[in-house]
């Protein structure tokens, strides 16, 4: 699987929705050059879309420019992805479970995206260090 290219790469984006497409391209290129299954890359991109959108939309109390770092690494048989931002603290592991029963009109909104992240990734970890959130996603590289 590993072809001698660095097993780690990172990208920094601004806290604007328009920059999210840069992450999609970055993840796809990382996966393609390292022979990672398209299904794994697709799952990761779905999760990053949800998480980055939440950070950009709800994580900041000001309109200033902020930097969000996304780092991807291969560690043995796992794909590790770390998102670091300086937004307000938010641990997605502690978010309310969504109500998936009933029809759309009767459900309370929220939590469905985080539910999908939890379903698509093998493990999620969160740490707040100083003024930074660090969210780590782990996904097995199945062959």
The CATH number given to whatever domain includes residue 92 is 3.30.565.10
Q: How far is CA 83 from CA 47, 77, 93, 97, in A?
A: 11, 20, 14, 22
Cα-trace Rg, the chain: 16
- Say if 2 falls within a structural domain: no
- Say if 1 falls within a structural domain: no
Q: What does the pLDDT look like over 92-138, one tens digit per residue? A: 888 766 555 555 455 444 555 787 898 999 999 999 999 999 999 99
- Say if 71 falls within a structural domain: yes
- Say if 122 falls within a structural domain: yes
- Say if 3 falls within a structural domain: no
- Say if 58 falls within a structural domain: yes
Residue 81 reports pLDDT greater than 90? yes
Predicted pLDDT of residue 100: 54
| Spatial separation of the C-alpha atoms in residues 24 and 26, rounded to whole Å | 5
Cβ atoms of 27 and 41 within 8 Å: the answer is: yes
DSSP string, 76-90: TTEEEEEEEE-SS--
| Spatial separation of the C-alpha atoms in residues 142 and 133, rounded to whole Å | 28
Q: What does the pLDDT look like over 4-40, one tens digit per residue? A: 455 899 999 999 999 999 999 999 999 999 999 999 9
Q: What is the mean pLDDT of residues 76-87?
A: 96
Predicted pLDDT of residue 107: 43
Q: 44: exposed, middle or buried (C-beta count within 10 Å: 0-12, 13-18, 19+)?
A: buried
Q: What is the mean pLDDT of residues 39-46?
A: 96
20: how many CB neighbours lie within 10 A of its CB? Answer: 16
Predicted pLDDT of residue 114: 83
The whole domain housing 105 covers 8-140
Predicted pLDDT of residue 71: 98
Predicted pLDDT of residue 131: 95
Question: What is the token pair recorded at 68?
Answer: 């969000």
Domain count across the chain: 1
């Amino acid at each position: 699987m590993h072809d001698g290219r660095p097993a780690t790469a990172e990208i920094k984006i601004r806290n604007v929705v328009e920059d999210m497409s840069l992450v999609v391209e970055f993840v796809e290129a990382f996966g393609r050059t390292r022979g990672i299954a398209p299904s794994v890359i697709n799952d990761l991109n779905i999760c990053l879309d949800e998480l980055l959108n939440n950070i950009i939309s709800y994580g900041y109390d000001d309109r200033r420019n902020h930097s969000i770092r996304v780092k991807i690494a291969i560690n043995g048989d796992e794909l590790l992805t770390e998102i670091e931002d300086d937004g307000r603290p938010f641990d997605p592991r502690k978010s309310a479970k969504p109500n998936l029963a009933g029809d759309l009109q009767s459900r309370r909104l929220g939590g469905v995206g985080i539910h999908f992240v939890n379903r698509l990734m093998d493990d999620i970890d969160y740490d707040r260090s100083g003024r930074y959130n660090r969210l780590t996603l782990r996904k097995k590289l199945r062959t």
